[in-house]
Amino acid sequence: MALRGQLYLSSRPAVHNDQRTIQDESSPLLAPAVPDTLESQALSLPSKIQSVTIPLPKAQLICLCVIRLVDPIAFTQIFPYINEMMAHLHLTDDPLRVGFYSGLAESAFSLSSLFSIYQWARLSGAIVCCYLIS
């Protein structure tokens, strides 16, 4: 028989150490047998476990920073040459419109980079996960 506001989780009450426990609706179904206090957590940890400090992978971080620095530099290298290329392709007879087509080509490059980065990130994640798991 359940008390008002309390209920049993099964048809038979839970038995812990030969004692009947009544659990209310807010208690978790798989409650720990030991109270969740700092003292009980400290006692339950094996004494052989020691904290291991992993050094920061400085070489990998420097490599990533250099790559992030090179990307904008590579993007800006197109600016001096794109106008000459658009004039050489004879896209328009009006030399004043060459700037428009140059901007269009630069914008297309930026948009294609934006939309392709997700596929490259997914591929990179899949490759890294394969090497980390094995």
Domain residue ranges of the chain, discontinuous segments joined by +: 76-133
pLDDT band at 111 (very low <50, low <70, confident <90, very high): very high
pLDDT band at 10 (very low <50, low <70, confident <90, very high): very low
Can you point out the beta strands (E) in the chain? 6-7, 14-16, 19-21, 23-24
For residue range 13-59, what is the model confidence (pLDDT) as tens digits?
A: 444 544 455 666 776 666 556 555 655 555 555 555 667 788 888 99
For residue range 71-105, what is the model confidence (pLDDT) as tens digits?
A: 888 888 888 899 999 999 988 888 899 999 999 99
Cβ atoms of residues 44 and 53 within 8 Å? no
Quote the tokens at residue 37: 């206090």
Closest to 120 in 3D by CA, of 67, 57, 82, 66: 67
